[in-house]
Amino acid sequence: MPNPFSNKRKIVRQSASDGGKKSKRVKLRPGSDWTKRNFITSVWIPSLFTKRSGMRARPLFPKLQPGQISITWIGHASFLIQTHDANVLIDPIWSMWLSVIKRLKEPGFHIHHLPSIDFVLVTHAHFDHLDRRTLRAVAADQPIVVPVGVGRLVHRLGFNIVHELDEWQTIELGPLRVSLTPAHHWGARFLADTHRGFGGFVIGANSRSVFHCGDTAYFDGFKEIGERHNIEVALLPIGAYDPPLAREVHMNPEEAVRAFNELNARTLVPMHYGTFRLGYEPMEEPLERLRKSAREHGIEDKVLVMTEGKPVVL
Ligand SMILES: [Zn+2]
């Protein structure tokens, strides 16, 4: 009999997943010449003196017809996805600081201007994706979906209906189908909590679909993700590819273009750049490199660069 006083009971783990490409934990040993540069003096200190850009305005969320999708970027990996029937937040972050790292771009609008949120998805437990303060503010008895091993972290923040997914598992959430996809990254929020999963999400709404890649290094799983889920819009990370410890944990813009082509998706929305300085690369470089690579591959017209807080209807 379920114990109504047990916190664990509310975290539902799906049954075992089928075969297919698995997530792989990346090697976390620093790259060979990481000591040649100093992240604190060359990136972190200058960023403290950088003026925050962007603005917050009252958002104009569109009234959607059945079959339409609206996407609003909040900055970094954070998005509001709206369909006619549901509002979904992915990796929401409104915080102005990631611990000691300054947010350099406004989220576009105040969190209290969000519409009511039906579902929340969190791709992994890293601080820039699982933001406690934001999740606490958003929690209102709606279901949350996370990779295996992340449930307890979000349950604690006020989410009472927690679904943990393993790679390739799918859950039906009202009018939506949400699947966890594999990635090459890692899931520990601290150091020893290596049991935590990580990945991306495909959100299906009838015939429409949006893929949020989560964080990943480039790997050979994109083709299979595209084959299993007919992906229309791909939200792909393009920044933090030159990280302090020179580890290969994030894709660069050229790899994102390659992933996009392998996914066989129709629209590429870049993310994970311009909000927090997490790597040595200059702030404007990811987008410049993405545009150049997209031109070279003839997919320029498929790239949709978003502005924080401005919904785009597709
Ligand atoms: Zn991460």
Q: Domain extents for the chain?
A: 52-313
CATH number of 52-313: 3.60.15.10
The model scores a pTM over 0.85: yes
62, 101 Cβ separation under 8 angstroms:
no
* More confident: 11 or 223: 223
Query: What are the φ and ψ backbone dihedral angles of 74, each rounded to 5 degrees?
Result: -100, -5
* More confident: 17 or 285: 285
Which of 99-103, 111-115, 223-227 is least confident? 99-103
What's the full length of the chain, in residues? 314
- Between CA 162 and CA 6 the distance in angstroms is 13
**How many angstroms is it from 126 CA to the middle of ligand 1?**
5
CA distances from 13 to 16, 125, 140, 163, 274 (A): 9, 17, 21, 6, 35
Query: What are the φ and ψ backbone dihedral angles of 55, each rounded to 5 degrees?
Result: -150, 170
**How many angstroms is it from 187 CA to the middle of ligand 1?**
7
Nearest to 304 by CA among 266, 254, 259: 266
**How many angstroms is it from 185 CA to the middle of ligand 1?**
7
CA angle 110, 112, 117 (to 5 degrees): 115
Q: Residue 300: how many CA atoms within 13 Å on its side-chain side?
A: 7
What confidence category does residue 3 fall into, taking pLDDT thresholds of 50, 70 and 90?
very low
Amino acid 204: pLDDT: 97
- Between CA 308 and CA 73 the distance in angstroms is 5
Amino acid 4: pLDDT: 44
pLDDT in tens, 44-88: 777 787 888 888 899 999 999 999 999 999 999 999 999 999 999
Per the prediction, the chain carries an average pLDDT of 90
Q: Mean pLDDT, to the nearest integer, of 279-301? A: 94
Torsion angle of alpha carbons 203, 206, 208, 213, nearest 10°? Answer: 10
- Between CA 277 and CA 173 the distance in angstroms is 35
**How many angstroms is it from 258 CA to the middle of ligand 1?**
20
**How many angstroms is it from 231 CA to the middle of ligand 1?**
22
What confidence category does residue 33 fall into, taking pLDDT thresholds of 50, 70 and 90?
confident
Which of 13-17, 39-43, 47-51, 171-175 is least confident? 13-17
Structure tokens at 89: 């937040």
Strand partners, 24: 184
Cβ count near 28 (within 10 Å): 12
**How many angstroms is it from 5 CA to the middle of ligand 1?**
33
Amino acid 34: pLDDT: 66
Amino acid 16: pLDDT: 64
Q: Which residues contact 145 (CB under 8 A, 6 or more apart)?
A: 119, 120, 121, 122, 163, 164, 165, 171, 173, 178, 180, 201
Amino acid 1: pLDDT: 44
* More confident: 44 or 295: 295
pLDDT in tens, 232-275: 999 999 998 877 666 778 999 999 999 999 999 999 999 999 99
pLDDT in tens, 172-185: 999 999 999 999 99
CA 57 from centroid of its chain's CA atoms = 23
Structure tokens at 13: 């783990």
